[in-house]
Amino acid sequence: MIPYMPAILIPNPESRGDAIQGLALRRHWPLRARNSHKGLFGAVGVLGGAAGMTGAALLAAVAALKSGAGRVWLACLDESSAIQRIPEIMTATPEGLLHNITLTALVVGPGMGTTSKAATLLDLALMAPCPLILDADALNLLSEDPAAPERLRLRSAPTLLTPHSREAQRLLGEPVIDRVRAALTLAQRYNALVDLKGSDSVIATSQGFWWINPTGNAALSAAGMGDVLSGVIGALLGQGLSPLAALQLAVYAHGAAAEQCVARGLGPVGVTASEITDEIRDFLNGR
C-alpha cells in the first residue's frame, strides 16, 4: 500500500492552495516487486454504457487496465450491445457488478444515460463499500436528486466527483464563475473529493484545501477524455494510493499525457482518448 504523503499533498496552510506536485507523487510510487501478482493491484469496476454510448464505459475500463489495475470488470446498461470486448477485461451485468465485494474502486457514469434504470443503479452504487468515482451522467443524476448531498455525506467509503464546468453548474444550481470556490463548495456539499475539470483543473477537499493542475493542453478537447480519467483514478486507488493522491496523480498524468502527445507530433488536433491512455501508461512507468 502507498503511504499517505502529507508533505506533498497538503498545500501551504496560509493559502490552503497549491499546484499539484505530480512528479513528486510518481517518484514516491514504489516500483513493482519481481514477485508481484494481480491480486496486489486492485479490482476496478466500471458501470455505464447505455445504448449508443457503450464506448464511453469501455474507454474507462481500458484506461483502468492500462494504468495498472490488477483486474477490471465492465458492466454496460446496454447488455445486448455488440461492442467489441477487450479480452483482458471481464464483463458483468450491472446488478452483478454492484454485488461484487472484491472491488477496490467503482467508476459510475461514463455513457450511463439518465433513464430510470440508470437512476436505480446509481442509488445502489451509492451504497457500495468501496471508493466511488462519479462522472458524467452519474453527476447529472445527482444534480436531480435533492437528497444526494445527504446520501453522499453518509457514505462510509470515499467519494470522488469529476465534473466539467457544465456538470458542476447543474450540481451547484448556479453558473461556475470562480472555479476554486465552485470546487470547494461541491466538495463540502457532497463530502467528496472534487476534480473540477477544464484548463487548469481544480482539485478540492471538503476540509477546504485545493490544488491547481499545471499540465494539459488543447489535445484534451475531444470526446472520451473524461472517461479515460475516471478509469485511471480507479486504477490508482486499486494500487494503494490514498484517494487524494490517486486523484492528484491521475489528473496530473492525464494532462502530462496530452503534453507528451504534442511533443511527439501527435496533435493537438485529432488526438484520441485511446492515444491519451497509452501516453498515461508511459508516464506512470516514468518514460
Span 220-244, pLDDT tens digits: 999 999 999 999 999 999 998 999 9
Rounded to 10°, the helix 225-238/54-66 angle is 40
> Domain spans of the chain?
6-27+39-138+213-284
- Output phi, psi for 18, to 5 deg: -165, 180
Q: How far is CA 48 from the centre of its chain?
A: 13
- Sign of the C-alpha dihedral, residues 249, 251, 255, 258? positive
- The model's pLDDT over 52-65, given as tens digits with 9 standing for 90+, comes to 999 999 999 999 99
Q: What is the DSSP string of the chain?
A: -PPP-HHHHS--TTTSEEE--HHHHHHTSPPPPTT--GGGS-EEEEEE--TT-HHHHHHHHHHHHHTT-SEEEEEES-TT--PPPPTTSEE--HHHHHT-TT-SEEEE-TT--SSHHHHHHHHHHTT-SS-EEE-THHHHHHHT-TTHHHHHHT-SS-EEE---HHHHHHHHTS---SHHHHHHHHHHHHTSEEEE-STT-EEE-TTS-EEE-----GGG-STTHHHHHHHHHHHHHHTT--HHHHHHHHHHHHHHHHHHHHHTT--STT--HHHHHHHHHHHHTT-
Give the percent of the chain with pLDDT over 90: 87
Q: How far apart are CA 214 and CA 253, in angstroms?
A: 10
pTM beyond cutoff 0.85: yes
Q: Is the pLDDT reported for residue 134 higher than 70?
A: yes
Rounded to 10°, the helix 273-284/225-238 angle is 30
- Output phi, psi for 151, to 5 deg: -65, -40
- The model's pLDDT over 243-281, given as tens digits with 9 standing for 90+, comes to 999 999 999 999 999 999 999 999 999 999 999 999 999
* Contact between 221 and 255 (Cβ < 8 Å): no
Predicted local distance difference test score (pLDDT) of residue 27:
84
- Taking residues 176-202, what's their average pLDDT? 96
CATH superfamily of 6-27+39-138+213-284: Ribokinase (3.40.1190.20)
- The model's pLDDT over 64-101, given as tens digits with 9 standing for 90+, comes to 999 999 999 999 999 876 566 789 999 999 999 999 99
Predicted local distance difference test score (pLDDT) of residue 1:
43
Predicted local distance difference test score (pLDDT) of residue 7:
44
For residues 70-81, b (16+ Cβ closer than 10 Å) or e, as one string? bbbbbbbbbeeb
